[in-house]
Structure 1
């Protein structure tokens, strides 16, 4: 016991030295203290109590999780939507069967926001351009206006891609529908006058073009749940062509609880709750909170949600895929999620060499902002 405590303390010291930052040191020390104190409580209860609650609690927790769990959709339905898993292509093409590589659909590349570098992001023109370039799947973002109209838009504000200013949630559809989302695009001269699309317009365009579609729910508004359910009710074809995704597990849970046949994924990146952005080279940037205490609490939430996603959340939600920030995806990552029956889809892979790595080494479907530099693998 003394040796174990010594090793734990040495580990805590090492972690604190490596992380250097005060929030990192506090988080590491908190984790270490939690493990040590938890171990102490469990051992003392086991020795002193007739009925050790610390050993019964995990059993009760497991039963509760089992009760909450929503089973994933039928494997055949998942394959209809996502296609044959590129990782298991040889098996999917039937070791011992006569099926060729061209007889089953394989989702090679997903045009992120309709490939927003090639045409104005989330626009109907972007969807058409993706189809013209041979892409079979797109990702679009679903948001709500102040008067509850579901639209296809990514940011919280309109500032980045239009000449207007303001938050989407505070603007009506009557005001948003007149904004030109091509004005700041590199190819603005080709798409002049491009407008924000209604969700229903984008869905109908995807159906018309024969595109699979990832519906990425922006924000935490529970009003998005009936919007998604209504879209599937009106367009039954979505069950075999659409994936619903979000950073918020509760939105996914509410959707799949209401309709377990909807194929869902969950998006993740490091420290989503504590920082507004992340880059694999430079790490996290732009803290969401100014106060030290709020920032530390956000880091703790990130640590808890990260652990939960890999151990509990995916199981409860019945996820079919996880959308992971590309710099955190390795062969080991793909293998571990594959063992859980969940596919890994990295985002956002834009450099031609990165595309080669993810397609040929990791053998995964990936999301990209541009369909230029594709390694001749868009269609199966």
Structure 2
């Protein structure tokens, strides 16, 4: 991952790059100054750290510092059908600090919990969410493809509000993972925060798409937010396998990955004013945690699924982590 020290270094490199490209000192100054002005005018400030701490570390340790929070990925998709009320209940029972829940929409605009664009992988149905109304989704068995389908048979796809009400009741922190639909998601979440003000101190909005986070900050600048990132995600799958068989396309997307990684670490986080950075576990180290700490941003790692890893994050790195299971080792979901 490409990391630069401070803003002076960043703008110096940009200045040199533009100068080499344009060979014009005048245009170099104009373009660099315009970039500085743009970031100054349109960036969002971070939410006050006192409130960020309430969200990321709701339970205080004996030394007065926040304990490591353990977040159940998709509600804990290994222990119960993912993104369901059952998974939220299981996560709470098994000691999770909070749950990560995926926000999607039905064809008639109802905010629901679902990770994929289709219902095929997790339910008894088949088809795209964009073509299925809530009345149709309500008839599906959300446990149909789960390894514990007999135990959770008949579990339904919940609406976002149903899930939120359950989390508030159980005092679980919520990591809203927004899959897309920036305008719709921002509007839905804004209404939710208005209806349930407790969410300002007990939830965080996350997304792989910077546009989603920027739109959320525009809609409600008091919401705690985070960018989610996995380096090399454009050119490779989560297990490291290349996405493209075409060599030229693979190399092109690798270049795009480098640029995206640079943007996340040097521009996008500042523009959005995020309070946390959710990063795939393989890229987390003590130096990396310190890099973000110097910028007032906390690292949250995903997906930490073995006991050895969990102990490392709790005892050595001391950062929050997201896991697929609260009770046993399991393979990760990317």
Give the TM bin, normalised by the shorter chain: 0.7 to 0.9
Provide the C-alpha distance between the structure 2 equivalents of 1:300 and 1:145, rounded to a whole number of angstroms.
35
Match of 1:320 in 2: 275
CA contact (8 A) 2:56 2:69 kept: no
Match of 1:60 in 2: 34
Q: 1:162 to 1:285 in 2, by over 3 A?
A: farther
Secondary structure of the residue that 1:174 maps to in structure 2?
Answer: helix
Unaligned runs of 5+ in 1: 1-33, 47-51, 86-91, 94-99, 375-380
Secondary structure of the residue that 2:24 maps to in structure 1?
Answer: helix
CA contact (8 A) 2:182 2:216 kept: no
Match of 2:238 in 1: 278
Q: 1:139 to 1:105 in 2, by over 3 A?
A: same
Match of 2:203 in 1: 242
Provide the C-alpha distance between the structure 2 equivalents of 1:122 and 1:139, rounded to a whole number of angstroms.
8
The structure 1 residue matched to 2:222, chosen from 252, 257, 261, is 261
The structure 1 residue matched to 2:178, chosen from 196, 217, 222, is 217
The reply on whether 1:77 has 2:51 as its aligned counterpart is: yes
Provide the C-alpha distance between the structure 2 equivalents of 1:236 and 1:37, rounded to a whole number of angstroms.
46
Match of 2:24 in 1: 45
Q: How does 1:179-190 map to 2 (within 5 A)?
A: 179-190=140-151
Secondary structure of the residue that 2:188 maps to in structure 1?
Answer: helix
CA contact (8 A) 2:76 2:326 kept: yes
The structure 2 residue matched to 1:173, chosen from 134, 139, 156, is 134
Secondary structure of the residue that 2:186 maps to in structure 1?
Answer: helix
Q: Which is higher, the Rg of structure 1 or of structure 2?
A: 1
Secondary structure of the residue that 1:197 maps to in structure 2?
Answer: coil
Match of 1:356 in 2: 311
Unaligned runs of 5+ in 2: 1-13, 330-334
Provide the C-alpha distance between the structure 1 equivalents of 2:251 and 2:110, rounded to a whole number of angstroms.
36
Deviations 1:223-243 (A, max 9, x none): 111011111111111000010
Secondary structure of the residue that 1:256 maps to in structure 2?
Answer: helix
The structure 2 residue matched to 1:228, chosen from 182, 185, 189, is 189
Match of 2:297 in 1: 342
CA contact (8 A) 1:139 1:213 kept: yes
Deviations 1:262-311 (A, max 9, x none): 00011101233444x222xxx24434xx8777666544443322111100
CA contact (8 A) 2:242 2:250 kept: no
Provide the C-alpha distance between the structure 1 equivalents of 2:129 and 2:267, rounded to a whole number of angstroms.
33
The structure 1 residue matched to 2:82, chosen from 121, 139, 142, is 121
Superposed CA RMSD in Å reads 2.5
Match of 2:257 in 1: 302
Provide the C-alpha distance between the structure 2 equivalents of 1:35 and 1:166, rounded to a whole number of angstroms.
50
Range moving further from structure 2, 55-64 or 244-253: 55-64
The structure 1 residue matched to 2:109, chosen from 126, 132, 148, is 148
Match of 1:331 in 2: 286
Alpha-carbon offset, residue 216 of structure 1: 0.4
Range moving further from structure 2, 177-186 or 295-304: 295-304
Provide the C-alpha distance between the structure 1 equivalents of 2:181 and 2:219, rounded to a whole number of angstroms.
17
Q: 1:182 to 1:59 in 2, by over 3 A?
A: same
Q: 1:84 to 1:341 in 2, by over 3 A?
A: farther
The reply on whether 1:132 has 2:93 as its aligned counterpart is: yes
CA contact (8 A) 1:82 1:106 kept: no
